[in-house]
Amino acid sequence: MRLLVTRPAEDAATLAEQLRKLGIEPVIAPLFTVQQNADAEVDLSGIQAILFTSANGVRAFSRAIEDRAQPVFTVGAATAEAARKAGFARIESAGGDVDDLARLITTRLDPADGGLIQASGSNVAGDLKGALEGAGFTLRREVLYRAEVASQLPPEAAQAMSVRTLDGVLLFSPRTGAAFVRLALAAGHEAALAGMYAYCLSQAVGNEITSVRWRDVRVARKPELQSLLDLLGEN
């Protein structure tokens, strides 16, 4: 099996190794480049915990501030692993999506103990802030990076689609799914998409790619990396 990996470069390298262990050949073609906000400053006074919804958020926060003492709550296992590598020790993972993260926080923390910070990019999925503020918490979103979408398909993706050697593509966010479809159509690869599987991290991702015909659209049972990898073994 040969699959297109569209994640940013730092995440793509780790994912590619996991795919190779499963006997899958990855074609790395990042659709986004991650740009750190160089002047970002984070004030942790009065904060009881830090929330991460992506590994990019972990990396951006870690570059902006040296403090690793605060408890950390992450959306899933991959983000938790990024937090461990960054030096955080007190980590809890929701093992799902932002709704699962909100539920975890409301069962573990008390709003009276202090505010929360969400380290994020300029675009976020879901409404973590709304869910937690509805439960009485104060959440401040710190925009520490931005993910800029490519203006055209990366050469690796365009070449593989031109010769029809891809079995499918891995899509991890609604924004990525929409961007991939748009760029593929702009490059004239509608027929190639019809022969490919779309492996989606969540139903929200799948909903973004319905404007074109695929060989099949498959959605992970849980919105986490391991569930998506398990999906690949079901072919």
pLDDT at 222 over 70: yes
What per-residue confidence (pLDDT) applies to 106? 96
Domain boundaries, given as residue ranges, for the chain: 2-31+150-232, 34-147
Average pLDDT of the segment spanning 26-31: 93
Whether CATH 3.40.50.10090 fits 34-147:
yes
Domains 2-31+150-232 and 34-147 in one fold: yes
Strand order in the sheet with 216-219: 25-28, 2-5, 168-171, 197-200, 216-219
Tokens standing for residue 138: 């104060």
Tokens standing for residue 25: 């050949």
Predicted confidence band of residue 65 (pLDDT cuts 50, 70, 90): confident
Average pLDDT of the segment spanning 202-210: 92
What per-residue confidence (pLDDT) applies to 145? 86
Q: In CATH, what class is 2-31+150-232?
A: alpha beta
For 188-230, the three-class secondary structure string (H helix, E strand, C coil) is CCHHHHHCCEEEECCHHHHHCCCCCCCCEEEECCCCCHHHHHH
Percentage of the chain beyond pLDDT 70 is: 100
Average pLDDT of the segment spanning 30-58: 87
C-beta atoms surrounding 26 within 10 Å: 20
What per-residue confidence (pLDDT) applies to 235? 62
Q: Indicate the pairing of strand 32-36 with strand 139-149.
A: antiparallel
Average pLDDT of the segment spanning 23-31: 94
pLDDT tens digit string along 123-148?
777 789 899 999 999 999 988 888 88
pLDDT at 233 over 90: no
Average pLDDT of the segment spanning 209-218: 95
pLDDT tens digit string along 153-200?
999 999 999 999 999 999 998 989 999 999 999 999 999 999 999 999
The amino acid at residue 229 is: L
pTM: 0.81
pLDDT at 95 over 70: yes
Angle at which helices 55-64 and 77-85 cross, to 10°: 20
Q: What is the Cα–Cα distance from 59 to 8, expressed in whole angstroms?
A: 13
